[in-house]
Amino acid sequence: MNGYGAFAAFYDALTDDVDYAAWADYLLAAFTRHGGRADSLLDLACGSGSLSLELSSRGCEVVGVDGSADMLAVAREKAADEGQDILFLCQDMRELDLYGTVDGAVCMLDSLSHILHTEDLREIFRRLGLFIAPDGLLVFDVNTPYKHAHVLGDNAFVYEREEFLCAWRNRYLPATHEVEMALDFFLEEEDGSYTRYTDTVRERAYSLQTWKNLLAEAGFDLLGVYDERRFTAPAEDAQRWVLVAKNNAIHQQND
The residues pairing with 231 across neighbouring beta strands, listed in sequence order, are none
pLDDT (average), residues 123-130? 98
**CA 98 from centroid of its chain's CA atoms:** 18
**pLDDT tens-digit readout, 128-144:** 999 999 999 999 999 99
Domain ranges of the chain: 15-143+206-247, 147-204
CA distances from 85 to 19, 64, 69, 71, 102 (A): 22, 11, 18, 17, 16
Q: Rounded to 5 degrees, what are φ and ψ at 248?
A: -105, 5
Banded pLDDT at 1 (limits 50, 70, 90):
very low
Percent of the chain with pLDDT over 90: 86
Q: Please, which residues have CB within 8 angstroms of residue 242's CB and are 6 or more apart in sequence?
A: 30, 139, 140, 141, 225, 226, 227, 228, 229
Please state which of the four CATH numbers 3.30.1540.20, 2.40.30.30, 3.40.50.150, 3.40.50.300 is assigned to the domain occupying 15-143+206-247: 3.40.50.150
Least confident range of 26-40, 118-132, 141-155, 157-171: 157-171
Please state which of the four CATH numbers 2.20.25.110, 3.40.309.10, 3.20.20.140, 1.10.260.40 is assigned to the domain occupying 147-204: 2.20.25.110
For strands 40-44 and 61-66, give the pairing: parallel
pLDDT (average), residues 37-65? 97
